């Protein structure tokens, strides 16, 4: 069941290892006993980075071998070969079939709107980090940071379970309105499609704002404290210090994160939308990643889902280089 491309990668890795071993054995050794043999810093850093490189190769580059399914009429459990090779049939089908084109337009609309809302509110983590840094109590600061970071480690299945307890027919809101406000309420807020995009934005913000703020908190800690002292000597208050020192110090980091978000505008995840999806809100909640999952796993159309995934990856790479070019033109700095 192991694909042939895996052995190709293994052979290439073995060749690299053999070449490095030969180079190591043929390198002249230091003969002076007074000189302590120590590995160069660049090799130590490489060994530290090696596990990350291996994991990235396994989970990010090795799956690219699955792109070959886009050129075959593949069915789950079957095989691929010359008899079911169809070339670019599924690529043309993606834009020639009216039903598929309509679905693509719909999911692209949902994807771009939800990603656009995320980009429009990408300033929230930096604002949260700035406000948290202004808290004088270290204990309270740590408590808030921990409390807001924990939701990032909660799976979306558990988040949906929390949503059921609050917004379902028998949830907290309906029970409160019925028992306390004496108002007949039995609305299932999770089933209706109204304001789905806004609800997904709020859930995503609640889950990720604390985690996203960590990089900005680290950036604030790296700002030279002498700048704040000099500003206070000149009469600047806390707001002026934030506006003229903290915000400019975090702007480069924010721009990099913003450009990366623009480059990944078509990749806004699947788990959140999968657990919140139902028959009532499917038309407005199905994003591109969820669409690939539904047609690939749900409908067993592996070849077509692979084509959609390839197209999304190519568009993402194009947007990444475009964002990098814009950054280099405007700021004089590139992100890759």
CA distance 177 to 222: 49
Two structure tokens written together for 27: 């390198």
Q: What is the pLDDT of residues 90-102, one digit of tens each?
A: 888 888 888 888 9
CA distance 85 to 247: 56
Whether residue 322 is predicted with pLDDT greater than 70 in this model: the reply is yes
pLDDT at 206: 93
Q: Which domains does the chain have, with CATH numbers?
A: 97-330 (1.10.3720.10)
* Mean pLDDT (whole number) for 313-317: 85
Three-state SS sequence of the chain: CCCHHHHHHHHHHHHHHHHHHHHHHHCCCCCCCCCCCCCCHHHHHHHHHHHHHHHHHHHHHHHHHHHHHHHECCCCCCCCCHHHECCCHHHHHHHHCHHHHHHHHHHHHHHHHHHHHHHHCCCHHHHHHHHHHCCCCHHHHHHHHHHHHHHHHCCHHHHHHHHHHHHCCCCHHHHHHHHCCCCCCCCCCCCCCCCHHHHHHHHHHHHHHHHHCHHHHHHHHCCCHHHHHHHHHCCCCHHHHHHHHHHHHHHHHHHHHHHHHHHCCCCCCCHHHHHHCCCCCHHHHCCHHHHHHHHHHHCCCHHHHHHHHHHHHHHHHHHHHHHHHHHHHHCCCCCC
pLDDT at 152: 92
pLDDT at 111: 92
User: To the nearest whole number, what is the mean pLDDT of the chain?
Assistant: 86
Cβ neighbours around 220 below 10 Å, total? 20
CA distance 247 to 239: 11
Residue with structure tokens 């609050």? Answer: 166
- Label residue 1 by pLDDT band (50, 70, 90): low
pLDDT at 328: 80
Q: What is the pLDDT of residues 51-74, one digit of tens each?
A: 999 999 888 888 888 888 899 988
What does each C-alpha distance from 309 to 101, 274, 304, 305 come to in angstroms?
A: 15, 17, 9, 6
Q: What is the pLDDT of residues 205-240, one digit of tens each?
A: 999 999 999 999 999 988 888 998 899 888 888 889
Cβ neighbours around 250 below 10 Å, total? 21
Whether residue 31 is predicted with pLDDT greater than 60 in this model: the reply is no
pLDDT at 11: 86
- Label residue 201 by pLDDT band (50, 70, 90): very high
* Mean pLDDT (whole number) for 265-269: 84
Q: Indicate the Cα dihedral angle 91, 93, 94, 99, nearest 10°.
A: 180
- Label residue 6 by pLDDT band (50, 70, 90): confident
CA distance 102 to 159: 31
- C-beta separation of 76 from 300 below 8 A: yes
* Mean pLDDT (whole number) for 109-129: 92
């Amino acid at each position: 069941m192991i694909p042939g491309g895996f052995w190709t990668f293994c052979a290439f890795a073995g060749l690299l290892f053999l070449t490095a071993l030969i180079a190591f054995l043929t390198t002249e050794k230091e003969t002076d006993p007074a000189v302590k043999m120590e590995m160069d810093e660049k090799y130590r850093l490489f060994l530290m980075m090696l596990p990350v490189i291996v994991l990235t190769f396994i989970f990010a580059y090795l799956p690219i071998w699955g792109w070959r399914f886009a050129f075959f009429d593949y069915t789950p459990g079957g095989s691929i070969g010359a008899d079911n090779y169809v070339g670019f049939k599924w690529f043309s089908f993606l834009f020639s079939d009216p039903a598929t084109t309509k679905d693509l337009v719909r999911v692209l609309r949902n994807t771009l709107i939800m990603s656009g809302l995320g980009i429009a509110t990408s300033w929230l983590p930096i604002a949260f980090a700035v406000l948290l840094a202004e808290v004088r109590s270290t204990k309270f600061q740590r408590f808030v940071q921990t409390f807001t970071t924990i939701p990032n480690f909660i799976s979306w299945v558990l988040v949906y379970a929390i949503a059921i307890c609050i917004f379902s027919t028998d949830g907290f809101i309906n029970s409160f309105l019925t028992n306390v406000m004496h108002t007949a309420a039995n609305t299932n807020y999770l089933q209706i499609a109204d304001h789905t995009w806004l609800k997904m934005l709020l859930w995503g913000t609640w889950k990720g704002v604390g985690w996203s703020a960590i990089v900005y908190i680290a950036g604030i800690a790296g700002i030279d404290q002498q700048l704040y002292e000099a500003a206070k000597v000149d009469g600047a208050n806390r707001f002026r210090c934030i506006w003229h020192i903290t915000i400019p110090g975090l702007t480069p980091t924010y721009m990099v994160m913003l450009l990366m978000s623009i480059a990944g505008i078509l990749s806004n995840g699947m788990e959140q939308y999968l657990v919140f999806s139902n028959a009532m809100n499917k038309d407005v909640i199905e994003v591109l990643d969820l669409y690939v999952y539904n047609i690939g796993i749900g409908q067993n159309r592996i070849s077509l889902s692979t084509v959609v995934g390839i197209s999304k990856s190519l568009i993402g790479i194009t947007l990444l280089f475009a964002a990098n070019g814009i950054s280099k033109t405007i700021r004089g700095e590139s992100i890759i």
